[in-house]
Amino acid sequence: MVICDAIWHDPGTGKQFLLGLFSMIHARSFPAVHPIVAVHVALTDGRGKLPIRLVLVDAEQARPPLFEKTQEIEFSDPRAVVALDYHLANVKFDEPGEYRFQLYAGAEPLMERRFIVRRIEEDKP
């Protein structure tokens, strides 16, 4: 799982390009809105159809998810690699802290990625 600014698909080669990888953002005030977050996930060793769910939660999971999307994918072969791309617009972070992108197959957790939101302190004269 990779967090980045954008995912570009080359129409000629079919290759994917992940642009601007990051795991932390900074904000001067809260709530803070981050305009674009892209998440790329590559899965393998699957069998048949699976419901996949990506959620973005605060680390304590004290509030409802900031983002949640469920979709069904199909593995034609366990050796196949299925790439999933998510594009989140205007993600609102109510406060600084640690967040998590979590990926599930049904109710089973597959992977998790830590994501930090930090407050930028104003320069003091």
Closest CA to 72 of 99, 96, 106: 106
pLDDT confidence of residue 47: 87
Instruction: Check which CATH number belongs to the domain holding 21 and give it.
Output: 2.60.40.1930
* 8-state DSSP, 79: T
- Does residue 29 contact residue 15 with C-beta atoms inside 8 Å? no
* 8-state DSSP, 30: S
- Please check whether residue 32 lies inside any domain of the structure: yes
- Please check whether residue 78 lies inside any domain of the structure: yes
- Please check whether residue 90 lies inside any domain of the structure: yes
- Please check whether residue 124 lies inside any domain of the structure: no
* 8-state DSSP, 96: S
Taking the C-alpha atoms of residue 23 and residue 32, their distance in angstroms, rounded to an integer, is 16
For residue 99, list its beta bridge partners: 58, 115
- Please check whether residue 28 lies inside any domain of the structure: yes
- Please check whether residue 125 lies inside any domain of the structure: no
pLDDT confidence of residue 46: 86
Q: How many domains does the chain have?
A: 1
Containing structural domain, residue 101: 2-119
- Please check whether residue 101 lies inside any domain of the structure: yes
The dihedral formed by the CA atoms of 56, 102, 82 and 6, expressed in degrees to the nearest 10? 40
pLDDT confidence of residue 65: 96
* 8-state DSSP, 81: -
User: One digit per residue, pLDDT tens: the chain, 125 residues?
Assistant: 999 999 999 999 999 999 999 999 999 999 999 999 999 999 998 888 999 999 999 999 889 999 999 999 998 888 989 999 999 999 999 999 999 999 999 999 999 999 999 999 866 55
